[in-house]
Amino acid sequence: MKDLKHLIYFENLLQDAQNELVDQAKAAGQYALGYNCYYIPEVLLNLPGCFSSRLRAPRCTSTDIAGYYMTNRSCPYARSILERAIEGGYNYLDALFGAESCATMDRMESHFFLINPVKNDRFFVTQVDPPMKGDSINLEYYKVQLRVKVLEPLKERLGVDVSDEAIRTAVEKHNRLCRVITEIGSLRKLPNPPITGYEFHVIQLVSQVCPHDLILPYLEETLEELKTREPEEKFPFRARVVLVGSEVDDPDFTKLIETCGAMVVADRYCFGSFPSREQIEIQEGETAFEAVCRTYLKWNQCARFMDGGKIDQRHDEVERLVKEFGADGIIYENMKFCEFWSYEKVLASNIFINERHIPTCTIEKEYALGAVGQLRTRFQAFIESLEIKQIQGGK
């Protein structure tokens, strides 16, 4: 396939958290608001005069100082973010909106106010107590949390307009971006898609780490380009897989799977587009803020949800993706030391293999892709088994 016009530009934007678009927005006087987790609705960080920045630590290969603070036995994503913060990589941030979604995340975010690694006088941190069930009690708690820990600090500390009108405007802009990404992502449903999993991963990531106003024109142009892009003559992969799990913010991980022969047709992991690019519909009699909370709680697929409805939803959603995107199998990954996904991958792989009869492979990974030999072997073996299954007619 012909290279995408902006792919290299996008790849460059992913080389640093403080990329050129972030600099542009900051120069224009906008507030940079960091977050780590889907529990913090991106749309609320894109109110007038602000832009969201989902934190990544690209090219972070050593976490010596963060290891001192958090030991080397804690989640490498959290450690890498802290390391990058200590290195000064997030000095552009005006605030960090954290979530006690897991213990390590809580600890890492706490260091942002305990050791003050972000050198910005305005900088502050809040942490929400995220709900663990999908019922109305938890929805109410979610609303309270987001109001107290996100909206109120934005208004009081940064003077941001958090009125219903402002949130409605942010929702409209957010929906526009979501429509573009969803349309691009849906191309992966085609038998021979004009986009690879890697390319989509890059596109999805830039949409999370760059100011929306600035990245959107590039994304819209890319969508138009993709509409007429000629795919390879023949589907170049031997299998199609859905990638599911915890933090994956390195597109090279997707590339690794694809170089082993399987296209990643759907991305259901933290930083992926399922969930994150669902549009927010404001229903009658509902404020924009309420619609945001309801939508985010509805689509949230975090492995920490405990009620039966949400647990089943997690698995149903993956099955839906497998069917809609024509996948042959599922790869479940978890970041090393991530307890939620360690458990979830065991449960889910059992459900998918034994009850829903969808081939599933589980792996554990580091944050930085270093020695990938073992992973490559695992992927190759899995893909081979999918191929054999195809040859045998799915038996």
Partner 1 sequence: MKLLDKIIAPVDKALERFDPVKKSEKGTGGLRDRYYDKTGVAKWREWRGVKDTMVDYAAWLNNILAMGQMVASAPIPILKGFWEYRWMGSYLGTFMFIDRLFEGFRGPELKIAHMNMHAIVQSLTKRIAFALKNDARFGGGPDTLNIIPYDETISPLWLMGFKGLYPFPMQTLPEFIICDIDQHIEPYYIDVAESFGLPADVCSRCAAETGVAIDDAFVKAGRVMLSTNMPCNASESTSMFQRRRIGLPDFAVTLAMQHNKPEALPYSRATLEAGIKFVEEHYGVKYDWNEFFKYARLINEQNTIELEKWEYFKTPYSALCGIAETLYRLYEWQSVNGAEPHFNRNDRKVIKIMRKCYEEKHQPFGGKTRHRAFLWGPSSVYYCDFPTWIQNCWGINIVLNMDSTMGYNMINTDDPDKAMDDLTKLEEKATMRHHAVGGWDNYNAVWDWAKRFNCDMVLMNDNIACNGTLGFHALMEEQARDLGFHFIFVEHDLQDSRTISRQEMRNCVNKYMSVVLNETPLDPTLVEFDDADAY
Partner 2 sequence: MKKFMKAFLKVLGKILLIGLIGFVATFTLYITNGENKLIYYVVRPFLNKHYDSQVRDRRI
Binding site for partner 1 (CB under 8 A): 68-71, 73-75, 78, 100, 102-104, 106-108, 110-111, 114-115, 127, 129, 131-133, 135, 137-138, 140-141, 144-145, 148, 303-304, 306-308, 311, 334, 336-337, 339-340, 342-347, 349-350, 362, 364
Structure tokens of 352?
């998918």
Using the rule CB under 8 A, is 1 a contact of partner 2?
no
CB closer to partner 2 out of 347 and 363:
347
Q: How many residues does the chain have?
A: 395
**Considering CB distances under 5 to 8 angstroms, the limit depending on partner class, which of partner 2, partner 1, none binds residue 53?**
none
Tell me how crowded residue 202 is: count the other CB atoms within 10 A of its CB. 23
What does the block give as tokens for 274?
């399922």
Nearer to partner 1 among residue 284 and residue 355 (C-beta): 355
Tokens of 215: 């990245």
Select 279 or 350, whichever has its Cβ closest to partner 2: 350
Among the listed residues 103, 306, 346, 388, the single contact to partner 2 using CB under 8 A = 346
How near is the Cβ of 303 to partner 2 at its closest, in Å?
15
How many residues in the shown chain lie near partner 2 by CB under 8 A? Answer: 3
Among 71, 72, 192, 350, binds partner 2 (CB under 8 A): 350
Q: Nearest distance from residue 12's CB to partner 1, in Å?
A: 33
16's contact among partner 1, partner 2, none, with CB below 5 to 8 A by partner kind, is none
- Does residue 158 touch partner 2 according to CB under 8 A? no
Task: Give the nearer residue to partner 1 in terms of CB position, either 106 or 213.
Answer: 106
| Residue 339 to residue 49: CA distance in whole angstroms | 37
C-alpha distance from residue 90 to each of 40, 254, 313, 329 (Å)? 18, 26, 35, 38
Q: Which does 28 bind (CB under 5 to 8 A by kind): partner 2, partner 1, none?
A: none
Rounded Cα gap, residues 168 and 289, in angstroms: 8
User: Is residue 52 helix, strand or coil?
Assistant: strand
| Closer residue to partner 1 in complex, CB, 259/342 | 342
What is the Cα–Cα distance from 338 to 19, expressed in whole angstroms?
28
Q: How far is the CB of 90 from partner 1 (least distance, A)?
A: 18
Q: Return the SS3 of 129.
A: coil
Give me the phi and psi of 334, to 5 degrees please. -135, 145
Q: How far is the CB of 319 from partner 2 (least distance, A)?
A: 17
Q: Computed from CA positions of residues 92, 65, 103, 206, in that sequence, does the dihedral angle turn out positive or negative?
A: positive
H or E element: which one contains 346? helix 339-350
Residue 311 as a binder of partner 2 (CB under 8 A): the answer is: no
Secondary structure (3-state) at 333? strand
Q: Is 190 a residue that touches partner 2 (CB under 8 A)?
A: no
103 binds partner 2 (CB under 8 A): no
Partners of 262 in the β-ladder: 239
347 binds partner 2 (CB under 8 A): yes
Q: How far is the CB of 350 from partner 2 (least distance, A)?
A: 4
Q: Report the sign of the C-alpha dihedral through residues 260, 263, 267, 273, in that order.
A: positive
**What DSSP line would sit under 257-269, residue for residue?**
HHHTTEEEEEEEE
Residue 65 interacts with partner 2 (CB under 8 A)?
no
Contact 175, 198 (CB under 8 A): no
In the bound state with partner 2, the residue whose beta carbon lies nearer, of 148 and 346, is 346
If the CB atoms of residues 101 and 349 are measured against partner 2, the closer one turns out to be: 349
Instruction: Report DSSP state, residue 47.
Output: S
Work out how close the CB of 346 gets to partner 2 at its nearest, in angstroms, rounded to a whole number.
7
Q: Which is nearer to partner 1, 101 or 276 (CB)?
A: 101
Question: CB of residue 352 vs partner 2: minimum separation in angstroms?
Answer: 12
Q: Which pairs with CB-CB distance under 8 Å and at least 24 residues apart come from 374-378?
A: 375/256, 376/256, 376/259, 376/260
- Which residues are at the interface with partner 2 (CB under 8 A)? 346-347, 350
